Structure 1
């Protein structure tokens, strides 16, 4: 079975397709400084759309999402962007946890696994 790597860098790939499954690396906002959890989430969801399209799939095929928030108090703000974006009738399994992220300006990080 082949493996395809998308947006591969020296440390990691942004997406890896193996068989009929695509694994996305945790996505953070490109320009997080001064942005709210809702704004960062919306930016991340756009990145997820782009990576899924590059892998030949879309958000309706997401199987699992893991969402990391630096402060769980941002849960409602994250959902304000997530709920209108997620494919209704095809909502994935999901876990949301509070975690310290790589830099203080990042408020949210999202990783997904999807079918191709």
Structure 2
């Protein structure tokens, strides 16, 4: 039986509850929902990237990528992305930011599937993203 490995990048603090930022078992890697926290700085409280959707989306994608990297995966390995937005009016702007981000990633595989849903998030957070990757 393949061992389940918890993934916590150096840029992340410990989760606020009993879960892992990411988990890899065999060739499957699940990234937990990531938000726009800036990289952890010892002795300092966590801070959100900024109040704007653009800043938060880019930092959230960077946080997902950090977990993928920690587990030996890349965006090319991602099969499914789920985006959680707090405001329906942010959908078009998020799509523009998302498309530009992935156009700059030089992917060699087709884009992943994606679902976008609207939710409530803690104060100040506009977006959360999780991902599922399958490695060769």
TM over 0.5: yes
Runs of 5+ in structure 2 lacking a partner?
9-13, 38-46
Q: Which residue is 1:19 aligned to?
A: 26
Q: Which residue is 1:113 aligned to?
A: 132
User: Greater CA radius of gyration, 1 or 2?
Assistant: 2
More strand by share: 1
Deviant stretches of 4+, over 3 Å: none
Return 70-79 or 15-24, whichever deviates more. 70-79
Q: TM-score, normalised by structure 1?
A: 0.89
Runs of 5+ in structure 1 lacking a partner?
none
Displacement after TM superposition at 1:48 (Å): 1.4
Q: Which residue is 2:115 aligned to?
A: 95
Q: What is the RMSD computed on CA atoms of the aligned residues?
A: 1.8
Cα pair 2:53 2:126 within 8 Å, conserved: yes
CA-to-aligned-CA distance 1:14-43 (integer Å, 9 cap, x gap): 000011010001000013374211210100
- Aligned pairs, number: 115
